[in-house]
Amino acid sequence: MTLFSLIVLAIGLSMDSFAVSLTSGVLMKPFNAKRACKFAFIMAAFQGLMPVIGWLLGVGFRNYITSIDHWIALALLTYLGGRMIYEALQNEEQACFDPCCTRTAMSMGLATSIDAMSVGISLSFLNVDMLQSALVIGITTFVFSIAGIYIGKKVGTYMKKGAGILGGIILILIGLKICIEHLFFA
């Protein structure tokens, strides 16, 4: 696999993280560079490590993993999106969905990187440098996540309360997209 092919793959894998980062940038309060970097790092770590896990699992567990991975992503993102919508509909002083909470960020990182594990399984059939692949995927995801967070912050200042509802809907739609892709197009 050429470096160009790897970068294109990494960009494709980072798109779900980018969308989640947009939503998180809208909701991140307080907003600062440290919190943005923490969130982007968690997203990047999951996107970079999941292909390695898939690569290590290889062919032996492929059928078991790919038969349920999309359901796990759907459940996690639907739960997080529903919680985000619920909290947005509550009194504004009570709304406290924090995408930078480590547990929440890790849940979103896991949910958006499950497809990266499947890619890792596929990469186990090729002669690739897995360390290079993981680094390129992780760095690309970090860059796209940071960009998404800052774009989300700019957009979020205009949306106010509707941002939480829209963000929750986006998370649920990403979960549905992952599930539909695996059920009908994989």
Which ranges in 28-101 belong to alpha helices (H)? 33-57, 62-66, 69-89
Q: What's the CA gap between 150 and 156, in Å, rounded?
A: 10
The reported pLDDT for the residue numbered 63 is 62
The confidence score (pLDDT) of residue 94 equals 45
Q: Give the separation between CA 133 and CA 10, rounded to whole angstroms.
A: 8
- Taking Cα atoms as reference points, which of 97, 80, 106 lies closest to residue 29? 97
pLDDT tens per residue across span 92-132: 544 566 788 888 899 889 988 887 887 887 787 777 889 99
Question: For position 65, what pLDDT does the model report?
Answer: 66
- Which residues of the chain are under the pLDDT cut of 50? 93-94
Model pLDDT, residue 78: 86
Q: Measured between alpha carbons, how far is 86 from 168 in angstroms, rounded to an integer? A: 9
Q: What is the pLDDT of residue 106?
A: 92
Q: What residue spans define the domains of the chain?
A: 3-185
Structure tokens at 89: 């509909």
Please tell me the predicted confidence (pLDDT) of residue 160: 61
